[in-house]
Structure 1
């Protein structure tokens, strides 16, 4: 077999981001999430709730489901990372989680418009979402092998940019050819899938699940063709041995204060970011009464911004290092979140707006661009800073801990949003806990070494 070049291996690694991003773009944020909110709201209206209570119940249901999925991911991530390092293989794990991704996404086709199988659809959504997040842990652990410390920041940023471009392209395809707008037609007036799907039954929107599954199945192929693991001679480790390895790794954290603070900090600010992603489209529908075309345009702007800013962020990371890039992105996200929480269709920071004012729409579109752009920068730079804290002897285990820090409390933001929504009865005020999470994460970054903690590896390993 001809040797695969470093350049092709990097492109293969990037293709995972391209293949997997539509789950987040199409299903979590811009198409299925808001569609689920519509179906769930109508269902709760049919039970006798008033409009605002039905909207709040729909957001609460989505919040608790995202929280439960995050809890499962957080518990399992470090265990599987340790197990993969013990056995020396990652590709079989990625293949298994890829199957979960495809099956979970495909099953969303079967959502019933009357809301009679809401919980089954949430279960299917969670299956694919968990598969995507678990696979990402193993993909991230390969980053240190793709380049030098000076190169991985740009590689990471470019990977996110490439992935977001894939998400943008998939969103445009779905909006133009599949998702129904007014009158059962797409955003450019076509019948869904050129009339092959029934717009009255929302088959174009429901097809987003199978489209996401097919997209992943096709575009993951370059990854499996070009990213080959080095042959590592390791005994076939057991779950018990993996757990012992994980326990030893966690105990070692007391001697690696910079890594410990980074894991806790990223746990909080990435949880806040995921909360914004999970509720962005739903917020726009429930608070501003946006239609599907508006949410689609919002998604295109956010995804396009993610492509551009992720690429720029990679350049800034290479020049200044990841820590200052992370801090800057968090401050922008805090500011934007504060604005939209204090905005409704009728007022801005308590000041009444003229009836029919489009100022909230303009602000929300700008916010979408900043959420997408800063979110891309934040994720890419965080991945680079984790590389600077990664023990090369156990990269998957290290990124398992990173996955744990990103998902162990991934239930907190959705649950806090669910609680705040329930207590206030407002979908708008319900999103406010993300600001607190961003601030706590920012404070803890103060004790994170911008250059990592390589000097402690040997001591902590002894």
Structure 2
């Protein structure tokens, strides 16, 4: 791909007068809704909290191990995401790969069902969540690439925001289900045995079914993308795709350096956003003394706040552009997270107040980041460029988990991990500030 730059107004991801059927938008958003099984239940509020509990050993030690393992998973995603995205573009098989990777995520979730609350199962659980993370990110490359298939230039912000918002709302519903039925009190309303962590493990089984079920609508309702002729001709091997990736990066550096800076900035701050949710539940339990049930209650409140704010800021993204949304959100995140650290001696009340304020900004930053890039991508290159987006993100994905683990190890207390996450968010903010808003549009040319 050769990238060219025009100073004209951004070209629409799809014709502005095109009417996208609502069923397609909702089918696309259903994947985000179902992804709550992995994001909210597996990596944030249930399974990772379970995995870093005292049942598996020292909480500080298991929290650090979780950070290191997720860091390794991020490196593996960085090495493979753009290549899988490019190959799915050229083959016109975006839905196929979304289906394959989603299926592998479901299998990883299923594996967590077998993790008993014993130290001997710690590494099995860590590997299951790491493998799930890898395939979730690869699936998200193809899913994000479909954004331009279900939106227009006038609606891309609100469609993206709707997707993220549905993810948070789906998280609320699923967390309520597992909390009421299996976790509250002694085994929930169904009085499920807590021996060996069975109530948590059965929750993961429900999460597996949830993810698999809601991954199906987008595969049925949204067509495979039309592949431009010049791209369809570029059939490459897996390793040959790395050569194309390098050419893409050098083309971007020469002709659209602003895009490179955005990819770098978003890589850093998106990793910080991931760190907020990955370690939020862990900190609530380990530092602020939340029980498993209280973590779930907080998670429900957090998802309500995040979902409402994300859906509400979608139209704002369309009106003022994604950059102001991103900058405002990052400032809010840095301030709120810093206050949690400096005021943590105030206990659970402090965490409740400032963690919920923090949740106001996470979703809008994520959604606006996706639309910022989607406005630049030429038709037929969505998988490749979103693969590069995932790669740059995952090239930095070790930052938040590693920074969290490093500060925990250095100071010997879990609360210091917040400093690492704040530093990652702050660096991402500083790199993002000079990035120009979507003034440029990449154009694809045949080689």
TM-score between the two structures when normalised by the length of structure 1 = 0.88
Task: Give the aligned partner of residue 453 of structure 1.
Answer: 440
For residues 367 and 349 of structure 2, the distance between their equivalents in structure 1, rounded to whole angstroms, comes to 28
Mapping for residues 252-331 of structure 1, pairs under 5 Å: 252-254=251-253, 255-331=255-331
Q: 3-state DSSP class of the match of 1:178? A: helix
Match of 2:409 among 410, 422, 426: 422
Higher RCO (CA 8 Å, separation ≥ 6 residues): 2
The offset of 1:42, in angstroms, is: 3.7
Question: Could you give the per-residue CA deviations for residues 356-386 of structure 1, whole angstroms, max 9, x where no partner exists?
Answer: xxx5322211233233331111111111101
Offset from partner CA, 1:259-279 (integer Å, 9 cap, x none): 011001001111111111111
Partner of 1:352: none
1:97 maps to which of 97, 101, 122: 101
Equivalent position to 2:201, from 206, 210, 220: 206
User: Contact conserved, 1:327 with 1:442, CA < 8 A, in 2?
Assistant: yes
The aligned runs of 1:233-252 (5 Å cut-off) are 234=232, 236-252=235-251
Quote how far apart the aligned CAs of 1:400 are. Answer: 0.6
- In 2, Cα distance between the equivalents of 1:422 and 1:299? 26
For the 8 Å contact 2:336–2:355, the answer to whether it is kept is no
Instruction: Answer yes or no: is the 8 Å Cα contact 1:27–1:208 preserved in 2.
Output: no
| CA deviation after TM superposition for structure 1 residue 281, in Å | 0.7
CA contact (8 A) 2:226 2:380 kept: no
Q: CA-to-partner distance for each residue in 1:322-366, whole Å, 9 max, x for gaps?
A: 10001010011000110111233xx3xxxxxxxxxxx53222112
2:28 is the alignment partner of 1:35: no
Contact 1:82 1:243 (C-alpha < 8 Å) held by counterparts: no
Match of 1:216 among 211, 219, 228: 211
Instruction: Work out the number of aligned pairs and report it.
Output: 424
How many Å separate the matches in 1 of 2:92 and 2:38? Answer: 28
List per-residue Cα deviations over 1:138-191 (Å, max 9, x = no partner). Answer: 11111122222221011100111112111110001010001254xx232xxx2x
Partner in structure 2 of residue 21 of structure 1: 36
Residue 284 of structure 1 contacts residue 295 of structure 1 at CA under 8 Å; is this kept in 2?
yes
The Cα shift of 1:407 comes to 1.5
3-state SS of 1:288 partner: coil
Structure 2 residue runs without a partner (length 5+): 1-18
Q: Is the partner of 1:204 in helix, strand or coil? A: helix
Q: Distance in 1 between matches of 2:423 and 2:134?
A: 26
C-alpha spacing 1:122/1:452, structure 2 compared with 1 (3 Å)? farther
1:364 aligns with 2:351: yes
The worse-fitting range, judged by mean Cα deviation, of 234-243 and 403-412 is: 234-243
CA–CA separation in structure 1 for the residues paired with 2:249 and 2:173: 40
Instruction: Give the distance between the partners of 2:291 and 2:297, measured in 1 at CA.
Output: 10
Root-mean-square deviation (Å): 1.9
Shift of 1:430: 2.1
Q: Which has the higher mean CA deviation after the structures are superposed, 58-67 or 387-396?
A: 387-396
| 3-state SS in 2 of match to 1:247 | helix
Q: How far off its partner does 1:310 sit?
A: 0.7
Q: Is the 8 A contact 1:180 1:204 kept in 2?
A: no
Q: In the TM superposition, what are the counterparts of 1:42-191 in structure 2 within 5 Å?
A: 42-44=55-57, 54-181=58-185, 184-186=186-188, 190=189
Describe the SS at the equivalent of 1:457. strand
C-alpha distance in structure 1 between counterparts of 2:236 and 2:258, whole Å: 30
Aligned counterparts, 1:425-444, within 5 A: 425-444=412-431
Give the Cα separation in 1 of the matches to 2:98 and 2:366.
Answer: 20
